[in-house]
A and B are shown apart, each in its own frame.
Chain A
């Protein structure tokens, strides 16, 4: 009987926990970071399903994009991304998308991620420069975010040093995390939503 799953050749669609019938409002949080920084690891540590992977293609080249010159490949732009989900209650579902910080990804931001609650910038301090572009783009898109340093072993820099290296203003939360640990990843998401809550009650979108 255990071969029954082969009935469904669909990629990754094998016996996932279904959402409750009453699910009616799904929310998005995006985790942005460079290659290998641990985005999918973070998604996996808190997701109730094994991370799924999908792709998007840019459907209308150049429309609504402010820097078309930056796209080098003019034929198709494809971005792959992983995601997971958390059922918050019988009505609300939170989807977590791991998004590559690469240049072409930002051309798809509006197409994919308009309406996102907020973002987590996941930083590897060995490659801080990978995060500059992501932070700049999030600010450009008026998207609130927190920054989380994914700690591989003993940190070599203080968070103040990281803040300095990222030129991060004081009011943007910067926290340490271990993306492999559920509690730690959960704390990052809570830090983000706390930050959003503070912004929301203060009645402003962004600094």
Chain B
């Protein structure tokens, strides 16, 4: 855990990081969508993008990127969308995420149970 209260964050910084964008209702990017880098950072890239590409050499969930970069989840989603659109990263969405009104398939739950019992 890290103490990093957002109220001490200057709104200016968040504004600058996203280039003023604030719409992050990116339904394709879930908190646990796994992000994988497809290329190395290149000179001149925004520092947050560089850090994301470095971080995601192995799959990393959106929530973890948010924790590591000390940026709110919605800000991270905006920045990731840039990288996805540039083909720099790929996203592996969770099978369960967009399905709002249905329970997960019993087979998925069975796999979860097997995994938990092995802990």
- Point out the residues of chain B lying under 8 angstroms from A19, CB to CB: 34, 58-60
Q: Does A95 contact B (CB under 8 A)?
A: yes
Chain A interface size, as a band, is: 35 or more
Give Cα distance in the complex from A193 to B110, angstroms: 8
**A200–B32 contact, CB under 8 A?**
no
Q: Bits for A4-29, please: 1 = Cβ < 8 Å to B, else 0.
A: 00000011110010111101111110
- Point out the residues of chain A lying under 8 angstroms from B116, CB to CB: 86, 88, 94, 186, 189-190, 193
Residues of chain B touching chain A, judged by Cβ–Cβ distance below 8 Å, are 1-7, 22-25, 30-34, 51, 55, 58-61, 63-64, 66-70, 72-75, 92, 94-106, 108-117, 119
Give Cα distance in the complex from A21 to B64, angstroms: 16
**B119–A46 contact, CB under 8 A?**
yes
* Chain A residues numbered 58-102 whose CB sits less than 8 Å from any CB in chain B: 59-60, 78, 80, 82-83, 85-89, 92-95, 97
Contact partner of B6 (CB less than 8 A), chosen from A28, A60, A80, A87, is A80
**B72–A115 contact, CB under 8 A?**
no
Say how far A8's CB is from chain B's closest CB, in angstroms: 8
Give Cα distance in the complex from A200 to B5, angstroms: 39
**A57–B6 contact, CB under 8 A?**
yes
**B1–A59 contact, CB under 8 A?**
no
**A18–B58 contact, CB under 8 A?**
yes
Say how far A85's CB is from chain B's closest CB, in angstroms: 7
**A95–B112 contact, CB under 8 A?**
no
Supposing A54-B72, A86-B116 touch, asked if A27 and B4 sit within 8 A by C-beta, the answer is no
- Point out the residues of chain B lying under 8 angstroms from A196, CB to CB: 103-104, 109
**A201–B72 contact, CB under 8 A?**
no
Say how far A145's CB is from chain B's closest CB, in angstroms: 13
